[in-house]
Chains A and B, each alone.
Chain A
């Protein structure tokens, strides 16, 4: 059961605020989905390794070579708020 409190907890983690009406709707819909998903618990998987990789492939690594990207100006100009060469945000209190 995904109750309103859980919905609020999850919304807080995901930084998404939803109104009371949406909370009720989400609680109902997610409960229904989770109830369906709960069928996974029927399976005994004690001896099954979780599958982290899809196809066994060779290790993928790169050598330590540095070069400057040409995109830094484009990246800064995409910022919704920019000051000089910085991204500007509201005051952060540690």
Chain B
């Protein structure tokens, strides 16, 4: 029987082009996996019966991609996994979706996520949590958990996620796949339902750096519809695959290897280090002294922007409407019933930190500390070309374990948040497994608009390891498969 799980997307696309495989074979292979495993994973919230087919050709043409449900696909439902948008349809196309179609990809499915991307576990979705393919009792990470789980389980060759504080990288790490967050401004945000406008960035989730580079080639580029999109040419990222890396210098920030890091994760990162060291890559210990302030800074800025961005959900023009006797009731009933507890918590936190009397102490102070955090990176990058850290302090935790303790949930993003505050590119890639067979991810952080160094290093690591080829031991759930 045909097994495509060991192939990366680029090779499947090539086989299709060379007629070694037929479109039907590929479609039915993935369709079968979706039918078998998605019911227990809950990673895809809609699989399109008739996918939107793109017209163009590219290295990845004619393959299906899953889209996190906060990116607008014209004519399709878009919910952000929130009750407040549960019946909403996109009236326009996100720029990245147009680009995917122009590259000949098929828009195949909508992926589960934390409500409005608020979360690190995909437990706040109104569709229920996504389960980790490596252990169904554990979380998948978040907020792009549906995308990461689907790719990890090979329900599709790849997916798009969005990353505001680690929402691509952390689930990629917990699921054993490659999750790339590009430089702020590299990918258009037009059509991405905003969480934190100054932090959000769309990026690919793939099983390899090869696919990652090819997908980046498609989605990156300036967009006149996004004022924060950079007028910088997109390099051919595939040219950075499997290059010589011996001249690259990597920094190890001491703050990222302090208390709170699980020993198994630490060991795995040390494995990455020695692999690179064998390739003659130099390591330098660096310091990012304001790291300990990143989570606090992030929660002020992200929640403040989110509280304002989410004000538009008011029951007047689209989405849920409840309560009609007067305007005040329309607003409050719609929003109280439409938003889940974590969304409310972020809205409250953001509204509070922007409100009169607190603005300077919280919001303005956070913007200042944000600059200090960015300057930490600026000075580090005078010495090094990339920074290596763990992606997450731990492997996947149990579903429900942190839902009652928001702060401990927030702290699980401790290694990924600074990158968004500084607007830098970063990638998480598989670098090991724990004793109980849970994936561990390593993170590489690059200079602004230098995604290429990260792809060089990542693909260099991939050449000599097979962590990314490991496939979760999924069992067909008989009950589900007969439904």
| A touches B in complex, CB < 8 A | yes
Which A residues have a C-beta under 8 Å from some C-beta of B? 2, 6-7, 9-11, 13-18, 22, 26, 29-30, 32-34, 36-37, 39-41, 43, 45, 48-52, 54-55, 57-58, 60, 62, 71, 74-75, 78-81, 87, 89-92
Residues of A within 8 A of B365 (CB): 40-41, 43, 45
Q: Which of B184, B330, B333 contacts A54 (CB 8 A)?
A: B184
Residues of B within 8 A of A7 (CB): 348
Cβ of B367 and Cβ of A50 under 8 Å apart? Answer: yes
The 10 closest A-B pairs by CB, nearest first: A50-B367, A54-B423, A80-B321, A60-B227, A51-B371, A45-B368, A15-B331, A74-B91, A48-B368, A37-B296
Residues of A within 8 A of B368 (CB): 43, 45, 48-51
Residues of B within 8 A of A14 (CB): 307, 311, 335, 347-348, 351
Cβ of B325 and Cβ of A43 under 8 Å apart? Answer: no
Residues of B within 8 A of A6 (CB): 352
If the complex has contacts A49-B371, A51-B367, are A32 and B293 also in contact, measured as CB distance less than 8 A?
Answer: no
If the complex has contacts A16-B339, A48-B368, A71-B91, are A40 and B314 also in contact, measured as CB distance less than 8 A?
Answer: no
Residues of B within 8 A of A41 (CB): 361, 365
Main DSSP-derived SS at the B contact region: helix
> In the bound complex, how far is the Cα of B372 from the Cα of A10, in angstroms?
29
Cβ of A51 and Cβ of B224 under 8 Å apart? Answer: no
Cβ of B325 and Cβ of A90 under 8 Å apart? Answer: yes
Residue B261 is within 8 A (CB to CB) of chain A in the complex:
no
Residues of B within 8 A of A30 (CB): 345, 348-349, 352
Residues of A within 8 A of B259 (CB): none
What sequence of 0s and 1s flags, for each residue 312-353 of chain B, a beta carbon within 8 Å of any chain A beta carbon?
001111111100111111111101100101001101110110
If the complex has contacts A33-B410, A79-B316, are A26 and B345 also in contact, measured as CB distance less than 8 A?
Answer: yes
Residues of B within 8 A of A71 (CB): 91-92
> In the bound complex, how far is the Cα of B335 from the Cα of A17, in angstroms?
8
Cβ of A10 and Cβ of B351 under 8 Å apart? Answer: yes
If the complex has contacts A14-B335, A32-B407, are A78 and B230 also in contact, measured as CB distance less than 8 A?
Answer: no
Residues of A within 8 A of B369 (CB): 40, 43, 45, 48
Cβ of B230 and Cβ of A11 under 8 Å apart? Answer: no
Shortest distance between the CB of B225 and any CB in chain A (Å): 9
Which range contains the number of B residues in contact with the other chain?
A: 35 or more
Cβ of B349 and Cβ of A78 under 8 Å apart? Answer: no
Cβ of B185 and Cβ of A33 under 8 Å apart? Answer: no
Residues of B within 8 A of A16 (CB): 332, 335-336, 339, 344, 347-348
Residues of A within 8 A of B362 (CB): 37, 40
Closest B residue to A60 by CB, please name it. Answer: B227
Shortest distance between the CB of B400 and any CB in chain A (Å): 17
Residue B477 is within 8 A (CB to CB) of chain A in the complex:
no
Residues of A within 8 A of B76 (CB): none
Cβ of B355 and Cβ of A10 under 8 Å apart? Answer: yes
> In the bound complex, how far is the Cα of B227 from the Cα of A33, in angstroms?
33
Residues of B within 8 A of A74 (CB): 91
Residues of B within 8 A of A43 (CB): 290, 293, 365, 368-369, 372
Cβ of A51 and Cβ of B336 under 8 Å apart? Answer: no
If the complex has contacts A17-B336, A26-B348, A90-B325, are A50 and B364 also in contact, measured as CB distance less than 8 A?
Answer: yes
Residues of A within 8 A of B341 (CB): 22
